[in-house]
Amino acid sequence: MSLAMEEEEYHKLVMRSGSEWLRTEIKRLFQELSETTREKIQAAEYGLVVLDEKQQLKQQYDELELEYETIRQEMEQLKEAFGQAHTNHKKVAADGESREETLIQESATKEEYYMKKVLELQTELKQSRNVLTNTLSENERLNSVAQELRE
């Protein structure tokens, strides 16, 4: 059915039904309009609530994003500080190990030097004892010879 035919049918129905039907139809239409208006107001109120929640969520998001960025920067600084501390620790440890190796080497060198010195002194002492023993023997022999010559 075309739109023109529907309008014509509607018009004929309205004319037959009379004014009572028109009042009822107007009342019904006003009720539908009131209901539709209430629904629109309610939808607008819901929309305002949703917009308010959206604004709050956006603010929370912005705050969280700012906090995240701050924490990320702090973490980068801590990583850098840790890297420097780790590097310094490695240097100190390496220097300590190097110093320890040097001290061990110096101690070993000194020990070797003193051991040689002790051996040299022991050898010199033995030689001096031998010389003393020989000298004492020679003195005794010379004393004996001198005593024999006196007699």
One DSSP character per residue, 19-54 reads: HHHHHHHHHHHHHHHHHHHHHHHHHHHHHHHHHHHH
- Please give the model's pTM, rounded to 2 decimal places: 0.44
Amino acid at position 147, single letter: Q
129-144 pLDDT per residue, tens: 999 999 999 999 999 9
Q: List pLDDT tens digits, range 66-123.
A: 999 999 999 999 999 999 999 999 998 888 888 989 999 999 999 999 999 999 999 9
- Which of 8-22, 57-71, 130-144 is the most confident on average? 57-71
What is the reported pLDDT for 123?
95
Instruction: Note the pLDDT of residue 16.
Output: 65
